[in-house]
Chains A and B, each alone.
Chain A
Amino acid sequence: MLEIENLHARVGDTKILNGITLSVKAGEVHAVMGPNGSGKSTLAHLLAGRAGYAVTEGRILYDGKDLLSLTPEARAGEGVFLGFQYPVEIPGVSTLYLLKTAVNAQRKYRGQSEIDALDFLAWIRDRVKKVRMDIEMLHRGVNEGFSGGEKKRNEILQMLVLEPRLMILDETDSGLDIDALRIVADGINALRSPERAILLVTHYQRLLEYVQPDRVHVLARGRIVRSGGPELAHELEAKGYGWLDAA
C-alpha cells in the first residue's frame, strides 16, 4: 500500500530525512520509534502533505500513485489520514461542520454523492460515544478550550468518521492518561482491518501495549537504523535511545 523509497528531505538548509525506505502492506501495523529530532514528525507530515519540506531524493508511492504530487486534500480523498501531534483550535467552526464538510469533500473527490444529513448525524453521534466525548462538543469550536487528551480523542473521532485506509498517528499517545490512552487505542483497533494500514509514530512503547504492531522501525538522524518485530519496542523501552549514538 505504502512504499517509501530512499526518501531524502530537508527544511531550508537542514537535512531532516536521509534516505528512508519503508514498505507497509494493507492489513499491517507499523510503529516508527525514535528520539526527539530523529525525523519522525517530518515523515508523518510529508505523508500528509504539509508545505515547507523539500524532497531532494526518493519517492513515496501510495497504491502505486506518486503521493508527493498530490495536494493534502487529494491525499485525504485517497484515504490518507494524519492524527496530529498538535491539533489546531478553530473557534467558531464546529466539529460537526468540520466532519460534515470533510466527509462530503472526500465523497466528492471519489465521485460519490453527498451524505444524507440526518443519517450522518446519527452515525457521528455513535462515534462520539465511542471516544466517550460529550455529544455537545460537536457544536463547539474545533478543539476550542480542549485539554491535550480531548484534542487527541477528537483526532480519533475524526479518524473513525472519515474511515481512512492509511492512518498515520503522530505521537497520538503523548500526554494521555491511562483511560484516554485506552480510548485512543480502542479507536485505532476498531479500524484495523485487512484493507487498511496503520503507521504509529511514537516516542514510547506505551501505546504498543494496546495496539500490537507487526513491525517496529527505529529512526535516528533521519534514517531507519533498525527494524524488527514487536520485541524491538520492548528492547527500546529497556535500553532507551542512548545506544543509537553508537549505531
Chain B
Amino acid sequence: MSPSYTAAFETVLRESPAVARESRTENLNAFLKAGFPNKRQEDWRYTDLSPLAEQNFALAAPGEIPDLSSRFLPGTDRLVFVNGRFDATASDYPPGAIARRAEFATPVDVFEKDSISHLNAALALDGLALRLAPQTRLDRPLHVLSVTSPGAAPAMSHLTHSINLEPGAEATVIFEDLTHGDGTHLLTQRVWLRAMDHARLNVIRLQEHGSGVQALTRWDASVERNATLDWINLDLGGHLVRNDLVMTLAAPEARVNLSGVYAPGGTTHVDNHTRIEHFWPGGVSRETYRGIVKDRARAVFNGRIVVHPQAFKTDSAQHVANLLLSPEAEVNAKPELQIDNDDVRCTHGATCGQLDEYAIYYLRSRGIPLDTARRALLYSFAREVLANIAFEPARQRMEQALLARLPGTPEVLP
C-alpha cells in the first residue's frame, strides 16, 4: 500500500477532535488490512481498484473555487464542498447549520462496511448532515455541490453525508458532483439516508466529473414504515465511477423507487451495484436503469434484490435497458434476485441493444437529419427515467447535461 494513505491520515488526525481519533484509527487499520477490492471478489469482477493501492494520492488542499454561479439551481438552498471541504462563502443555507465536520454528527454506523467505507471514515472531514424533526419539511430543495479541483499532482478527497428524516418529515436533496480541471483525483463519498415512519425523502444526483477522476460512492439507506425514498442518479463523467447502493426496507410497508441513467463516453468506466433488501412485509420497490454507452466506454450494472423469508407481500420490479452506440462500447448487466418466500410479486428484465432503425427512419422520412433523429431517440430513451424528477429546475439541468453528452450536434430538444 502506498504510504500516501497513512500520510493523509496523519494530516486528518491533526484536524480532528480527540473524540474522533480512536474511530478514525480503527477505520484506517481496517482499510489497510483489507486493501482495495480486486477482481477476485465477486462484487468487483468488472471493476478492479487494486491499482489505486500503488498510487500516491496526497490529501487535496482546499482548491481554487471556480465561479459556480452558472450551476446554482433556482429555488434551492445551497451547500458547497470543494476538494472535500465545506466552503462557507460559496454556500447559502438557512440557519440551523447543516454542514459539519464529519465527526460531529456521524450516525451510529449500523451498516456493514467495505474497505472503501473504512477509508472514507478514516479520512472524511466534512459533509452534509441534515436532520429534520418529526412532521417538518425542507421549504426549499437543498443543492449540495461537490467540486473537485485536481491540481498537478494526484490528490484525493473524502466526504461523508447523512440525511436523517424523522417520522413524517419531507426533504428533497440534489447532489451535484463536478470537476474543475483535468488532473488525477480520487473522491470517496459515503451517504447515509434514513427515512423514518411516513417520511418522504427525494434524492437526486448528477455526476459530471472530469476524465481524471475516480469517484467511489457508497449509499446506505434505511426506509421505514410507510416511508418513501425516491432516488434518481445520472452518471455522465469520470474516469472510473463506482456507485454502491444498499437500500434497506427496514419496516413494513416501506417504498423505494430507485432509478438511474448512465451515459459514459470516451474511456469512462461506470459501475452501478445496487442492492435492495426487503426485510418486512408489504414493501414495494421499483428499480429502473437506462444505459447509453458510446466510444470505448464500459458500463456495469448489477442489481440485486433480496426478499427475506418474512417479507410477505413484497412487490418488486426491476428493469434495466442499455443502448450500445459503438462496437467498442461494452455493457455487463446482471439482475440478481434472491427470493426467500412464495408470497411475493417480483419481476425483472434486462436488455441490451442498438437504437431502433425503424424509428430513426420514421424521423428521417419527415426530413429530420440522421444525427438529430438519433439524438431525439436517445433522449427519449433516457427520459423515461429523468421525467420522474419532480423538481423542475433539477430535471432541466439533468436533461441538458445529458443532451450535451449525446453524440451529434448539440441543440435544444423539447
Contacts and interface: CB of A to CB of B under 8 A. Distances in A.
B344 interface: no
Closest 5 CB pairs of A and B: A92-B383, A76-B367, A97-B414, A72-B364, A102-B366
Interface of A: 48-51, 71-73, 75-77, 81-82, 84, 87-88, 90-94, 96-98, 101-103, 105-106, 109, 141, 158, 162
B358 interface: yes
Contacts of A81: 365
A101 B371 CA distance: 12
Contact of B362 (A84, A101, A106, A109): A84
Interface size bracket, B side: 20 to 34
Contacts of A88: 356, 358-359, 362
B367 A162 contact: yes
A87 B414 contact: no
A105 to B, nearest CB: 5
Contacts, number: 84
Given A72-B361, A87-B362, A88-B362, A102 B368 contact: yes
Contact of A76 (B356, B364, B383): B364
Given A50-B361, A88-B362, A90-B376, A96 B367 contact: no
A73 B369 CA distance: 6
A93 B363 CA distance: 11
A51 B361 contact: yes
Interface in B363-414: 363-370, 372, 376-377, 379-384, 387, 413-414
Contact of A90 (B361, B364, B365, B380): B380
A141 B369 CA distance: 19
A3 to B, nearest CB: 21
A96 B414 contact: yes
Most buried by B among A49, A50, A101: A101
A98 B366 contact: yes
Contact of B387 (A48, A92, A96): A92
25 contacts: A51-B361, A72-B365, A73-B367, A73-B370, A76-B364, A76-B367, A88-B358, A88-B359, A90-B359, A90-B380, A91-B384, A92-B380, A92-B381, A92-B384, A93-B376, A93-B377, A93-B414, A98-B363, A102-B363, A105-B372, A106-B367, A109-B367, A141-B380, A162-B366, A162-B367
A76 B358 contact: no
Nearest to A139: B414
B383 A91 contact: yes
Contact of A51 (B357, B363, B377, B384): B357
Contacts of A158: 366
Given A91-B384, A101-B376, 9 more contacts: A71-B370, A76-B364, A82-B365, A90-B359, A92-B382, A93-B414, A97-B413, A98-B363, A105-B372
A76 B366 contact: yes
Nearest to A96: B414
A73 B379 contact: no
Contacts of B413: 93, 97
Contact of A48 (B365, B381, B384): B365
A22 B366 CA distance: 24
A47 B364 CA distance: 13
Nearest to A83: B365
Contacts of B361: 48-51, 72
Contacts of A97: 376, 413-414
B358 to A, nearest CB: 6
Interface string B34-72: 000000000000000000000000000000000000000
Contacts of A72: 361, 364-365
B181 to A, nearest CB: 34
A194 to B, nearest CB: 23
A158 B367 CA distance: 11
Contacts of B377: 90, 93
Interface string B218-231: 00000000000000
Contacts of B356: 88
Contacts of A84: 362, 365
Nearest to B358: A88
